[in-house]
Amino acid sequence: MAVLLRTLWSNRTARAGVIIVGLFLLAISVGGALMPYSATDMDFLNLLTPPAWTHPFGTDSFGRDVLTRVLLGGRVSLAISVTGVSLAAIIGIPAGLAAAWYGNPIDQLLMRCADLLFAFPSFVLALFLMVVLGFGVTNVILAIALVYVPIFARLARNLALTVREEAYVQAARLMGQSTARILGREILPNIMAPIMVQASISIAFGVIIEAGLSFLGLGVQPPTPSLGVIMADGREYFNQGPWVLTLAGLFISFGLLGLNLLGDGLRDLTDPKLREKTTS
């Protein structure tokens, strides 16, 4: 962990990403507790007050402190996205490894399924699933997972194909190790870096999918304060209090910027071809 952080620190982009993601995580984990309000406290004397020292993000139509809600909502949205992307990784990576290891016909079958899922706009796919399953937190997680399963499967397959014939894999094979062991202990650790890059970018987009679905009213349902729910709420009185929607969105963008920079930095570090370029 310390080694990883030190390596990340050596790259300017990754360093910016680590700092922003760190601040974001700190804000959503302890920020809520430091705020003098709770996410449900209503103050009917201060309805829709613009941002000020007492309420840095202003208050909403119930007089609730928007910053407190956004901090809590960030936690909800990030948890949803991380769960969805993890689920996609848990299903997609083994599928991709199996496709690469066993070759046809498993490869053909799995990759054609991935192609099919790929052919739908991701948001349309998520929307479609929400109609079938109904709205709510669990189904948003499933929708995010469905969007990312083919991406992880294809990435893991393509990466595994490149290391499949490496000497250490052949050696493990000759030593008579089980397929599961070779895939898990030899191949997976060697293809993990690009998968981590994909994961950090996917988590960022997962937050956007959650926010988008909830924003339309098709995702997380109030009173659970996800970032999308808060923004949907802010849309109702956008003309009187534009700060609710804009500042909540700004908070999302801040977190996503960190995740994207982290992903970019990781990619620079793990791709030696690009590393030469950034240093030269």
Partner 1 sequence: MVWVRYVGGRLLALVLTVLVGSVVVFLVMKAAPGDPAVAALGESARPELVAAFRAKHNLDVPWALQYGRWLSGIARGDFGLSLTVASDRPIAGLIAARLPNTIFIGVMALLIAVILSLIAGTIAALRRGKLADTIATSLAAFGISMPDFWLSYVLILVFALGLGLFPAYGFIAPAQSFTGALYSGFLPALAVSAPLAAVFARTLRTSLLEAGNKDYVVAARSFGFHPAYVFVHWIFRNALIPYITIIGLQIRYILGGVVVIERIFGISGVGSLMVDGAFARDYPVVQACAVVFLVIVLSVNLVVDVVCSLLDPKRAR
Residues near partner 1 (CB under 8 A): 115-116, 118-124, 127-128, 130-134, 204, 208, 211-212, 215-218, 231, 235, 238-239, 242, 245-246, 249-250, 252-254, 256-257, 259-261, 264, 274, 277
CB of 261 to partner 1, least distance (A): 6
Distance in angstroms (rounded) separating the CA atoms of residues 55 and 85: 34
Candidates 202, 238, 196, 233; CA nearest to 217 is 233
Nearer to partner 1, 172 or 208 (CB): 208
Nearer to partner 1, 95 or 187 (CB): 95
Q: Which residue has the tokens 């959503």?
A: 28
272 touches 31 (CB < 8 A): no
Nearer to partner 1, 151 or 172 (CB): 151
CB of 208 to partner 1, least distance (A): 5
CB of 54 to partner 1, least distance (A): 23
For Cα atoms 219, 221, 223, give the angle at the middle one, nearest 5 degrees. 150
Nearer to partner 1, 23 or 42 (CB): 23
CB of 236 to partner 1, least distance (A): 12
- Compute the radius of gyration of the chain from its Cα atoms: 22
CB of 244 to partner 1, least distance (A): 10
Candidates 199, 214, 235, 206; CA nearest to 137 is 214
Q: Which amino acid is at 197?
A: V
Nearer to partner 1, 3 or 119 (CB): 119
CB of 241 to partner 1, least distance (A): 11
For Cα atoms 128, 69, 259, give the angle at the middle one, nearest 5 degrees. 65
110 touches 93 (CB < 8 A): no
For Cα atoms 136, 55, 223, give the angle at the middle one, nearest 5 degrees. 15
Nearer to partner 1, 99 or 208 (CB): 208
